[in-house]
Chain A
Amino acid sequence: MSEQQSNTQTVTPAADAAISEVLEKKELRSWKAAIALALFSVVSIILFVVFPRHGQTGFRWSGADDLITLPTWHVDAATTGTVVTILLVLLTALVVWVTLQTGRLAPRTRRLITTAAVIVFALAFMVAFLAWAMVGNNVPVTGLLLGTVSLSVPLIFGAMGGVISERVGVVNVAIEGQLLAGAFCSAMVASLTGSPWAGLVAAMVAGVLVSFVLAAFAIKYLVDQVIVGVVLNVLVTGLTSFLYSSVLTKDAETLNTAPRLSPVAIPGLSEIPVIGPVLFNQSALVYVMYVVVALVFLGLFKTRWGLRLRAVGEHPKAADTVGINVARTRFWNVSLAGAIAGLGGAYFTLVSVGSFQKEMVAGAGFIALAAVIFGRWDPIRATLAALLFGFASNLQNVLAAVGSPVPSEFMLMLPYLVTILAVAGLVGQSVGPAASGKPYIKG
Chain B
Amino acid sequence: MNPENEAEQPATRAERRRQEAEHAHEIEEAVVAALETEPVPSEAVSAPVGGAPVAAAAATATATKTAAPAEATPGEEEPASNRVLREIMNGPVVLSFLAVLIAFIIGGIMIALTNDEVQETAGYFFAQPGDFFGAVWTAVSGAYGSLFQGAVYNFGKDDFATGIRPLTDTLTYATPLIAAGLGVGLAFRVGLFNIGGRGQMLVAAAAAGWVGFSFPMPMWIHLPVAILAGLAAGAIWGGIVGFLKARTGAHEVILTIMLNYIAFYLISFMLRTPGLLQAPGSVNPKSPAILESAVLPLILGPNYKLHLGFIIVAVATAGVWWLLNRSSTGFRFRAVGTNPNAALVAGVNVKNTYVWAMALAGGLVGLAGVMQILGTTPDGMTSGIDAGIGFDAITVALLGRSRPWGIFAAGILFGAFKAGGFAMQASEGVSVDIVGVVQSLIVLFIAAPPLIRAIFFIPAPDGKLTRRPLRRNSKAVSA
Contacts and interface: CB of A to CB of B under 8 A. Distances in A.
Interface of A: 22-23, 25, 173, 213, 217, 220-224, 226-228, 230-235, 237-239, 241-247, 301, 310, 314, 363, 366, 369-370, 373, 376-378, 380-381, 407, 409-410, 412-413, 416-417, 419-420, 423-425, 429, 431, 434, 437-439, 441, 443
Contact of A234 (B10, B265, B439, B470): B439
A231 B444 contact: yes
Contact of B266 (A173, A228, A245, A413): A413
B81 interface: no
A429 B439 CA distance: 38
A234 B268 CA distance: 23
Interface residues of B, number: 64
Nearest to A437: B474
Interface string B435-467: 111011101100110110000000000000010
Nearest to A241: B433
Rank and list the top 10 A-B pairs by shortest CB-CB distance, nearest first.
Answer: A238-B436, A222-B469, A221-B448, A235-B440, A245-B431, A241-B433, A242-B433, A409-B269, A423-B250, A409-B265
Interface stretch (B92-100, B161-169, B254-262, B321-329): B254-262
B440 A439 contact: no
A221 B447 contact: yes
Contacts of A242: 110, 114, 431, 433-434, 436-437
Contacts of B304: none
A23 B443 CA distance: 50
A389 to B, nearest CB: 11
B82 interface: no
Given A243-B114, A413-B261, A424-B248, A226 B472 contact: yes
Task: Tell me the dominant secondary structure on chain B's binding face.
Answer: helix
B251 A423 contact: yes
B250 A425 contact: yes
Task: Tell me the dominant secondary structure on chain A's binding face.
Answer: helix
Contacts of A230: 195, 391, 394
Given A363-B261, A420-B258, A424-B244, A224 B433 contact: no
Contacts of A438: 58, 474
Contacts of A244: 433
Interface stretch (B1-9, B218-226, B367-375): B1-9
A301 B2 contact: yes
A425 B248 contact: yes
A378 B2 contact: yes
Nearest to A32: B248
Nearest to B472: A224
Contacts of B255: 420, 423
B268 A416 contact: no
Contacts of B1: 378, 380-381
B440 A234 contact: yes
Interface of B: 1-2, 4-5, 7-8, 10-11, 16, 50, 53, 58, 62, 65, 110, 114, 193, 195, 244, 247-251, 253-255, 257-259, 261-262, 265-266, 268-269, 273, 391-392, 394-395, 398, 430-431, 433-437, 439-441, 443-444, 447-448, 450-451, 466, 469-472, 474
Given A223-B469, A224-B53, A420-B255, A232 B440 contact: yes
Contacts of B398: 227, 231
A217 B444 contact: yes
B265 A238 contact: no
15 contacts: A173-B253, A226-B195, A227-B447, A231-B443, A231-B444, A232-B444, A235-B440, A235-B441, A241-B431, A242-B110, A242-B434, A243-B114, A376-B5, A378-B1, A441-B62
Contacts of A217: 444, 447-448
A424 B257 CA distance: 14
A301 B394 CA distance: 37
Given A242-B110, A431-B7, A234 B262 contact: no
B469 A221 contact: yes
Contacts of B248: 423-425
B266 A231 contact: no
Contacts of B435: 238
Given A227-B50, A441-B62, 4 more contacts: A226-B193, A242-B433, A310-B4, A370-B257
B58 to A, nearest CB: 7
B136 to A, nearest CB: 15
A373 to B, nearest CB: 6
Contacts of A224: 50, 53, 447, 469-472
Given A217-B447, A247-B114, A431-B7, A223 B266 contact: no
A258 B234 CA distance: 43
Nearest to B3: A301
B152 to A, nearest CB: 22
Given A226-B472, A235-B437, A425-B249, A416 B7 contact: no
B108 to A, nearest CB: 13
A439 B250 contact: no
A234 B16 CA distance: 36
Most buried by B among A217, A373, A381, A416: A416
B478 to A, nearest CB: 14
A409 B254 contact: no
Nearest to A239: B437
A230 B265 CA distance: 21
B470 A238 contact: no
Contacts of A425: 248-250
B469 A409 contact: no
Nearest to B7: A429
B470 A227 contact: yes
Given A243-B114, A378-B2, A438-B58, A228 B474 contact: no
Contacts of A377: 4-5
Most buried by B among A25, A230, A314, A381: A230
